[in-house]
Amino acid sequence: MEIRNLGKSGLRLSVVGLGCNNFGGRIDEEVSRKVIDKAFDLGITHFDTADVYGHFSASGAVDFSGKGGSERILGKHLGDRRKDIVLATKFSQPMDPEERKAGASRRHAIEAVEDSLTRLKTDWIDLYYVHFFDPKTPLEETLRALDDLIRSGKVRYIAMSNFPSWRTVEAVWTARLHNLNGFVACQDELSLLARHHQKELIPALAAHGLGFVPYYPLAGGALTGKYRKGAPLPESGRLARGKRYSDRFFSDKRAEIVEGLVAFGEARGHSLLEVAMSWLAAQPQIGSIIAGATRPDQLEENVKAAGWKLTADDLAEIDRITLV
């Protein structure tokens, strides 16, 4: 397994990470344990979760009774292996229906990290994200609170997720102005069917030495090869949950792109999954690809798929297919 630095920080991650958003929601504890064990077998050292994961049922509905479910499962099943991985989690999303436990204020940041440490059964978090930008809290307040958490040893590195591009730059300069520990990376959507962040966000991160961690690398399953133009949607897939998912990840235009990518891969003896994962691995700003899995064999396929070394000509042809 290739190991990379995250941006210009000293934090090193496996190029394929394990997205743990399915734990306690789409898959139960026993299946989650099997996926965790497989991740260690494959050499994955980056486990990504959030306090809010576990809130979502198989149908995608919010269920606050399951709050913290993913973190609890990780805390229970990591055991002594905890010290061997980079454990990332997030805060700021509502943890209760009234949204009293939400946002990126000092009060909630300190409360949230203690709650996550308890659920994860650990003394520290390697990478702590602000899950979504909080317009109600000044960035300086959030960064000062996170700086205190780093100085206390409860958090090692901090990052952001789902921030507008200009807010990422504001965060960089706010940290520098006040001599605070700053964000080392941003996590956001990126795939061959969603390349919009290559226009502003990723160049901004590169200019300031921050890494990028993509989620939805397979576009909700649209890049796995099981969804094809004109064919019925498989009942077990995420895209079959409803029109909201199918419209987002598999519109008519995206279906056409998928067909082009399938043909590209087949002409070179590779699957669509390999095209999607290897393209992400070829992007210089990416530290680790967050790949979720509902089965151990699915995780194994994701890891193997990232091993194809694309040439410059390959990348140019992929651009031709996808940038339409």
Active site residues: 53
Tokens 């520290």, located at residue: 124
Q: How crowded is residue 2: how many other Cβ atoms within 10 Å of its Cβ?
A: 12
How far is the CA of 261 from the CAs of 54, 63, 228, in angstroms? Answer: 33, 37, 11
Residue in 134, 170, 128 with CA at minimum distance from that of residue 147: 128
How many Å apart are CA 285 and CA 168, to the nearest integer? Answer: 15
Q: How crowded is residue 104: how many other Cβ atoms within 10 Å of its Cβ?
A: 25
Cα distance between the two ends of the chain: 33
